Structure 1
Amino acid sequence: MCSTGSSNQPRIWSHIWKLQVPERVRCFAWLVAHNRISCNEQRVKRHLSSSPFCYRCPLQVETPLHALRDCPPAAYTWSRLVPAERQFSFFSNSLEQWLSSNLKEEDKLGGDIPWNAYFSIGLWNLWKNRNDGAFNGIEKTLSPPSLLQATKIKADLWYKAWSAPRRVLGRRPVSLQRTPTEIGWSPPPAGWDKMNVDGAANGRQGPAGAGGILRNSEGRWIGGFVCSLGSCSAILAELWGIYHGLGVAWQQGSRALILETDSQMALQLIDKRTDPLHPHSTLLGAIRRRIARDWVVKLAHTYREGNRAADWLSKHSLVYPYGKLELTTPPQGIQHIIRDDCRGTTFTRSIVTAPHTHLAL
């Protein structure tokens, strides 16, 4: 839970997106990890406040670590949740070490709640209580014992709700099975075009990019693109791929389009209502506006075996200069993939399904 950090810390963001907690909590954890919450230290830098100090602790600069760990209400809460033998490292780590070690920890802490879920919900609850005090007056805040109890109750309720089985028959969870399935690219119906897109990211500080290929119902090349994105997360690269794929298809005259991606997470983010605090809300809004143009667009999930050409383009986008490059002819490296797709070449993949249903999980 509270091990000391090292230069080889796990990627914090990968632990955040795996948390079984509400979306708003994941978004908040992402903001904390990127030092983007509006504590007074940041508010002074943005000329939104004249004082960098904590409203409770007049001599303490309100950093994210102070607001969420060291301020008395936060310290009281954590001191009663964290085992005594782990408290020294918990209260002495840097912000990055503190987040990394706690967000990756899945040990259960009473009530079968993994610690990383408990920790992230605690962060959210502490921040809400801090905001009530900072903007509505200290009398509006919960006392430390009440704050502790509220955190325990909320963590228990939220985790139980968000960790329920995704598919149930009656009241029994559906058992899962793997079925060998042939996967390959399939052409769109007559009169439709298909845009396959993919994103690639080489670690937190490494390059990221996206690529896409547009083909007609006969599998013939219409156009494509590669886009070098600098440094960003894998999911952000996937979303940029979808955004640029829609733009290229529109410019090429497609008015009935199937857009395929192998990122189920990207499709879920586009499909559901996004919290304004979500780090990618602006890009998601731009994607939805492109979909809402005067055309028919269907977003679909495919597996990597059916997305080979876009996968090739996204990986090769990493070596291009920053920005988007539209392709008028297919690069030599994907011509054999396009031929395979036209021939109907498939690859065997083990697909997880729910038996006695037609739902792929």
Structure 2
Amino acid sequence: MNHILRSCPRAIEVWKEKKIPINNGIIFNEWLKENITKVHNSSSSLNPSNVDFIFLIWGLWLRRNAWVFSKKNVSSSISIKKSHWAATEWFYSTNQPKVGKAPNSNLNSNPNSFHPYPTSNDLNPTLRWSPPPASALKINVDSSFILLSKKSGLVAICRDSLGRWQGGIWRNTYCSNALEAEIRGILMAVNWVINKDWRHCIIASDCKNAVEEVHNNSGAKSVLFDDIHICRVLLQRNAGIELKHEGRSANKAADALAKYAQGRFTGHNVLQELSSPPPVCINFLEEDIRNCNMEANDDDHG
């Protein structure tokens, strides 16, 4: 690990570029722990330095795998850019109470307040899955994306106000990046709702950037413009469909199913319908029902 992630010339060029001290005077585990648990103010990124560090570690590993298994030489600049993009998407789409706004907005909170381990605020019960109103349905949508292969699993699951399974779909496809996968997942869910003629639905995604792109009426990124534009048009034409962002803790069942779907690549853009929930997400569905029942009992007793 020390060679691959710290002392290898390929690793050294990344750490020098990002001005992260290599510090060979301490053992590897201590160096790793120091950079994960401490935030360095010298970082030029809008992300906390420990977040960037973790994703740079991941980028180094992916870069080496690309060479070992595919003889593909990824430059350090490309690896750094991809790692930074992934870190930014993760940090600003995670439901952290102190994160503030997306990086292209004014940050009202201090990103140095980020802590790499869960806090009591992160475990707040309000981040659980919440049921829709009695007359509505809720569709949780998610995607799973592999950087090297570009394979993506898109899923949407529908439940009623009691948390009961009403249906599910998944699709395997290829996307250029994780944001494109999330946008396509939302579009798939909107089309599904319209085809089912469900009149009052809440579509929930844990990707804040994707939801904001759809809600924002300004020009979208060129690669994603068509899908985003179609989402906007369909939502405007169907007033009973609401798109909202929720934290990842409220989207566990869809997340598990997205990873499951992506690992079972059944063909490009082949839509799979699920009349019953696969075993991989049943525990999360049951947990969501229990949480709903607990909240209902709390409300009944004041």
**How far off is 1:252 after superposition?**
2.4
1:167 aligns with 2:112: no
> Against the structure 1 CA distance between its residues 191 and 281, is the aligned structure 2 distance closer, same or farther, given a 3 Å change threshold?
same
TM-score normalised according to structure 1 size = 0.48
Other structure's SS at 1:218 match: coil
Contact 1:205–1:232 under 8 Å retained in 2: no
Determine which of 309, 312, 337 is the counterpart of 2:253.
Answer: 309
Structure 1 residue 308, shift from structure 2 partner: 1.2
SS at match of 2:142: strand
Structure with the higher helix share, 1 or 2? 2
- Kindly indicate whether residue 78 of structure 2 is the aligned counterpart of residue 100 of structure 1: yes
The structure with more radius of gyration: 1
Amino acid at match of 2:194: W
User: Any unmatched runs of 5+ in structure 1?
Assistant: 11-17, 21-95, 107-161, 347-361
Are 1:224 and 1:248, in contact at CA under 8 Å, matched by a contact in 2?
Answer: no
SS of structure 1 residue aligned to 2:198: coil
Distance 1:163 1:230, change over 3 A: closer
Pairwise CA distance, 1:265: 0.8
Residue in 2 aligned with 1:229?
A: 173
Contact between 2:150 and 2:177, CA under 8 Å: does it hold in 1?
no
TM-score, with length taken from structure 2: 0.57
Structure-1 separation of matches of 2:197 and 2:186: 17
Map 1:210-249; keep pairs closer than 5 Å: 210-249=154-193
Mapped pair 1:333 → 2:280? yes
The one-letter amino acid of 1:222's match is Q
Distance 2:105 2:243 in 1: 27
Q: 1:278 to 1:184 in 2, by over 3 A?
A: same
Change in 2 beyond 3 A, CA 1:19/1:226: farther
Q: Name the SS for the 2:170 alignment partner.
A: strand
Q: Which residue of 1 aligns with 2:237?
A: 293
Structure-to-structure mapping, 1:33-72, within 5 angstroms: none
- Look up the equivalent residue of 1:234 and give its one-letter code: A
CA distance 1:102–1:331, change in 2 (3 Å): closer
- Identical positions, percent: 23
Alpha-carbon shift at residue 345 of structure 1 (Å): 7.0
1:204 aligned onto 2:151 = no
